[in-house]
Amino acid sequence: MLIVQPVAGALGAEISGVDLAKPLDPEAVSAIRRAWLDHLVIFFRDQELTPVQFLAFARQFGAPIEYPFVRGLPEAPEVIPVLKHEHETANFGGIWHSDTTYLEIPPMASMLIAREVPPAGGDTEFANMYRAHETLSPGLQRLLEPLRAVHSSTLADTARTREDRMKDSAREDARASYTAEHPVIRVHPETGRKALYVDVAHTERLADMTREESAPLLRYLFHHQVRPEFTCRFRWRPGSIAFWDNRCAQHNAVNDYAGHRRLMHRITLAGDPPRGV
């Protein structure tokens, strides 16, 4: 029996009563997907999955895709290691973002499973982009609805967080940069709800505007969309899994565990071209 327990007012729920190492029946898949759509990010504890089993679990919800910059595991190329060594200072994904929005078709979802965690710290924060949109004034919502934004893989803070992994595990076919243009307000293809779809890690500027012209409005949106009341925070243990919806949620890997190693495995699931209002 699945038990779904919300973890915060804005988003997030922990699901218990299921062994993800085994194939799920259609009713369980449907119930998990419903909880995921309702809560934007769902968490599981104490799941002992090999990379191949983790990939099999992911395939019950979508089509896994390879990350464009870093090589995956030999036995499961769609599974990439998200690693920070004890001596490293920057962490992979240590900035608020939705995954790889610089792709023409960004991923629908991402999954992380914890392999090694520090004794304290290394949590991941999540933020609700439905709530970020809904709490904007009606006037600003109307202003944003026709706008599009340019997303780039080359922004300095984002490049810095992946720099260490590019040194030791870069893909040979990785392009120097990726750029895509998406609506600022995105309509979720399954729920029909509107979400704010810009982020400080990847959004370079508004389309048909310069960076300087775009900066004041984007700076306000970047601050607004991660207000504490829109967020939840997850503390990892080995065997913990997070499964989030990149179309309506952002995340941030907190870098507060200097001197300790942290290893996760990540899968991203293929999405669809973002649709505006």
- Compute φ and ψ for 65, nearest 5 degrees: -125, 155
Decide if 274 is inside a domain.
no
Residue-wise pLDDT for 56-75, tens only, equals: 999 999 999 987 777 889 99
- What is the domain extent for residue 98? 3-269
Q: What pLDDT band is residue 163 in, cutting at 50, 70 and 90?
A: low
Give, in degrees to the nearest 5, the angle at Cα 42 between 40 and 43.
155
Q: What percentage of residues in the chain have a pLDDT greater than 70?
A: 92
Are 104 and 233 a contacting pair, CB within 8 Å?
no
Could you tell me if residue 275 is inside a domain? no
Active site residue 160: no
Q: Please, is 167 exposed, middle or buried when counting C-beta atoms within 10 Å of its C-beta (0-12, 13-18, 19+)?
A: exposed
Q: Do the beta carbons of residue 62 and residue 269 sit within 8 Å?
A: yes
Among the listed residues 39, 99, 262, 265, the single catalytic one is 99
Residue 156 belongs to a domain: yes
Closest CA to 147 of 131, 133, 126, 157: 133
Active site residue 251: yes
Residue-wise pLDDT for 118-154, tens only, equals 999 999 999 999 999 999 999 999 999 999 999 998 8
- Asked if the model's pLDDT at residue 170 lies above 60, the reply is no
Report how far residue 111's alpha carbon sits from residue 157's, in angstroms, rounded to the nearest whole number. Answer: 22
pLDDT in tens, 177-189: 789 999 999 999 9
Average per-residue pLDDT for the chain: 93
- Domain CATH for 142: 3.60.130.10
**Is 227 an active-site residue?**
no
Position 156 scores a pLDDT of 59
Q: Which residue in 115, 165, 251, 265 is the catalytic one? A: 251
Q: Of residues 133, 162, 265, 266, which has the active-site annotation?
A: 266
Active site residue 148: no
pTM score, two decimals? 0.92
Within-domain flag for 276: no
Count of structural domains within the chain:
1
Set 97, 151, 186, 202: catalytic member: 97
The answer to whether residue 50 is domain-embedded is yes
Q: Is 277 within the bounds of a domain?
A: no
Over residues 205-233, the pLDDT tens digits come to 999 999 999 999 999 999 999 999 999 99
Q: Which two tokens stand for residue 257?
A: 């565990």
**Whole-angstrom distance, CA of residue 268 vs CA of residue 233:** 20
Residue 39 lies in a domain: yes
